[in-house]
Structure 1
């Protein structure tokens, strides 16, 4: 087992406690960030647990007895990246992982055909100290040809199916390069090359499935993201008449770096104001890329995400810049946010385990329209990647169903970005139509889906009322 498991349990407990009392949607307090060493220990503990539980369940479910992952240094397979210890920042030379399930109910054999043993070890410890996540089964001094060694291991086990990460639909399940596949086929020979199958269901299942230990912490990751987002939408950062939208974008980037976190996309900050509607496609200011000075009376929109402990967030919120003498946003803007909240409720109430995402899209969209909402739904899976492994529930330009990605079923124990917009006429702006674009992260346990850290239900006000 990984060293320091007791300490890791304490870390998880602390993270859970740290979340309590910080759920208020307007709280800009950033929870304490773990050190890199603490993060590595936690992530490696999760990985070991996942290899022991998620992996065998997937191989049994899909009837695959061997799974091969192959990647070369700096040309990573997205799945392999999540199967390497935290101190392995990339594949090394040619990294090959082999998983073999001899029969259902048995332990999965985990092998590494690599020059270096794939070990989890504490940062700063001497080489060779740590837990072996995989049995190291290649000694170049005895068999210099790595491909020949792979052939020997496959022949010894004689699998019925050999899964490779190939997919024409899901990029995250298509990590095997053409040259590596060609070399593998040549090494295996006709006997075993005919047994090669797509590992798409294994790759997607591995990436999308969350374990309880991860979900004990994911809400805190979202709390961190909420706190940063809210801080940026305040008088701490924005001075009306002076601050520009691009200033706020770069403030977010610098704040993320200051905290020792990462982002997976550049934040966007846009403005709606009377007689100056936002760009209809993605909510950017009237001209895409336009850099505007933020003024009293503006409705701001931010799209923002972080990456922490290997997991991503994806959040969109709105803020209103108070005019002199105002204590709150116009009622029409408040009603627009409430309409978007209602469509969030509608979408989440329609989640069904095992159902295709396209069916969910059509049912939720029909219900929203029947209630009089001009809604557009474009939600997606979330996890290791911001646009994560799993189905797409609509897109900004397709509300009838996504071929391929929308046909994939919704599974339990998965994280989601509940992303959508509602167009509402604002009376105080002369009936001008405004798109209210919300995005909040959630978890589906197979029975119900809940937000990780609440959601925006009131417009953030700049400055905050005292």
Structure 2
């Protein structure tokens, strides 16, 4: 038997994942666009105020998308189109936010096209007209030394932007890294409700993977469990956020660093009684990602519970976890 040691979450045992829990593609698109509407109209103004940035320009080209713009596209847009330029202007005094696209068409229902190619064929010139008309105090672009998620502006577009920008605004160009990171990391109330459900699905899959339905001690390998989890996610119509990792820890073997999970780890380690089995697993759904780690102990024939030292070690680890999370600053 396999005794589970839950590191973070407590969940109800049981391995039945109803397909009705997972929305079909059309239903997902509706939810994604509703969430985007809330994020653009209610969350973004607050984030721009907190970052002290009144204009944010996001520039990206098809098939080489800025990671930020990928989170802003409507559900029916799988990529940017040609060169897509988004301009967000926040007027705090009037409590308004403009969401404009320097593109030939609207970007979903929230971002309105502000470029008539017949009147102004040059996309960059039209962008500069919009900037000059609003006369921002600061212009945020997605470049960053420290935050890769906020460094999506490519060299070519940066150079084109700066070459076309009126000189009076050159000194106003700054990194939008604080705003970009906050946009990516902040979840709305509705997203958190959905996220809890996604976490439940993630833990249900782990529970099944850490059961005798999947693991036969002495036979099943870590690699087989990884691929079972990957296939399970695909069968549910979801995606893995990263390839699952399963590894084992044994009292008679030297404990190695976490890098062992990515490099140098035997792919076909047979899972044996007495093993402490660890997983690192995450799935993607409705543009949300989970990243969960759990432990399971494989009982020896004479055992009915995990060894006391493991149970106590888990308790101490959870105390440290609670201390850290309790002192995090939002």
TM-score in terms of structure 2 length? 0.91
Aligned to 1:96: 85
Aligned mates of 1:138, 1:244 — CA distance in 2: 57
1:76 aligns with 2:72: no
Aligned to 1:317: 294
Alignment of 1:13-162 (within 5 A): 24-30=11-17, 32-119=21-108, 132-162=109-139
Aligned to 2:226: 249
Displacement of 1:302 after TM fit?
Answer: 0.8
Displacement of 1:201 after TM fit?
Answer: 1.4
Q: Aligned pair count? A: 320
Displacement of 1:68 after TM fit?
Answer: 0.4
- Note the aligned Cα RMSD (angstroms): 1.9
CA contact (8 A) 2:11 2:203 kept: no
Displacement of 1:25 after TM fit?
Answer: 4.7
Q: Secondary structure at the match of 1:163?
A: strand
1:212 aligns with 2:189: yes
Aligned mates of 1:110, 1:184 — CA distance in 2: 19
- The CA deviation string for residues 352-403 of structure 1, in whole angstroms up to 9 with x for no partner, is x3xxxxxxxxxxxxxxxxxxxxxxxxxxxxxxxxxxxxxxxxxxxxxxxxxx
Aligned mates of 1:76, 1:307 — CA distance in 2: 18
TM-score in terms of structure 1 length? 0.66
Displacement of 1:224 after TM fit?
Answer: 0.5
CA contact (8 A) 1:277 1:286 kept: no
Q: Which runs of no fewer than 5 residues in structure 2 stay unpaired?
A: 1-8
CA contact (8 A) 1:30 1:223 kept: no
1:350 aligns with 2:327: yes
Aligned mates of 2:269, 2:263 — CA distance in 1: 10
Alignment of 1:53-452 (within 5 A): 53-119=42-108, 132-282=109-259, 284=261, 288-351=265-328, 353=329, 411=330
CA contact (8 A) 1:166 1:173 kept: yes
Q: Secondary structure at the match of 2:29?
A: helix
More helix by share: 2
Q: Which runs of no fewer than 5 residues in structure 1 stay unpaired?
A: 1-21, 120-131, 354-410, 412-466
CA contact (8 A) 1:225 1:305 kept: yes
- The 10-residue stretch of structure 1 (325-334 or 75-84) with the greater mean CA deviation from structure 2: 325-334
